[in-house]
Every structure is written in structure tokens, then in C-alpha cells.
Amino acid sequence: MSVNEVRKPTAPIEFEIRNTNNSTDPLSSTSATFVLGNEDHTLGNALRHILLERTDVRFAGYAVPHPSEPVVQVRVQTKPRKIGEQPKAIEVLKSASQTLSDVCDLLTQKIEEAIPEVQAERAMFSQEEDADEEVDDYANEDGVYDEGEGL
């Protein structure tokens, strides 16, 4: 390994559910902490934002326990949609993840649609700059055009 080579640490786990309301099955829990390996604030904050927009979420938050450890913990607590009908935390997280994926797909599509327009604007701007430089070639160092030269 050379001096300038940097090794990005990998997380010891990819995904883990930590049950927080002491039920025997963490998949049926309405409150849980999800540990996502090899992720950081980018995913944690985006998921938290999507989760907090939902009406069936009482609490959503995230934490990165240590900056050198590539792990993000996402905490979700759900609340009843109707009397007696409370969604499971894992279902809400899956739904929020799908929503986030859809938003990313839409953003990618919009960027790809805008690329030709931006390239055309840059080409036009570049041509205008080239034309301005040609005119400036006839000016003296003070930016004043001499009567006898060029123009």
C-alpha cells in the first residue's frame, strides 16, 4: 500500500434490526432501530426526511455512531393509521426506501433530459466569448480601439 492510498473501512454488518419494544419477533415490531452497513449521513438523512413526511410515523431519526465507522442507525416508531391498525416498522422503512428510490430515479431522468439543453447553452456561450475575444484583439492595453488598426 502506497502512502497516498486510502482504504475505506467496510462495516462488519450489512443490515441488522434491533428490536426496541421487547417483542420476540423484531419483524413484527412497531418500533425498531435498523443498522445499515456501509452507509453514512447521505442515506440516513434522506430516509429520515421521507419517513417524517408519512402520517403513520411517530418518530424517525438517524445516527452515525462514529465518523470512522461506515454505519448508520435509523430509528423508526410507528403510530396507528386507524384504531387497532398499526404498521410494522420494517414495512414503513421498506416503503420509505422505495419512495426514496423513486425520487432518485425521477431526479436522474430530469438531469438526463436537461443535459442537451445545457450543452447547447454552453456551446452558444462559448461562441459568444470567442467573438468577444476577436473584437478585443483590436483594442490597446487600455481597452480603447485605435483608429488606424483593425476596425
pTM above 0.95, yes or no: no
Q: Mean per-residue pLDDT for 98-116?
A: 97
Q: Mean per-residue pLDDT for 68-78?
A: 94
Q: Is residue 41 part of a domain?
A: yes
Q: Is residue 84 part of a domain?
A: yes
pLDDT band at 82; cut points 50, 70, 90? confident
What is the domain-level CATH number for residue 33?
3.30.1360.10
What was the pLDDT predicted at 151?
A: 47
How many domains would you assign to the chain? 1
H-type alpha helices, 21-88: 41-52
Phi and psi at 84, nearest 5°, equal 80, 0
Residues 108-146: tens digit of each pLDDT: 999 999 999 999 998 888 887 777 666 555 556 665 666
Q: Is residue 137 part of a domain?
A: no
pLDDT of 81 strictly over 80: yes
Q: Is residue 77 part of a domain?
A: yes
Q: Is residue 146 part of a domain?
A: no
Q: Is residue 2 part of a domain?
A: no
Residue 101 Rama label (left phi>0; alpha psi -120 to 50; beta): alpha
Q: Which domain holds residue 85?
A: 15-106
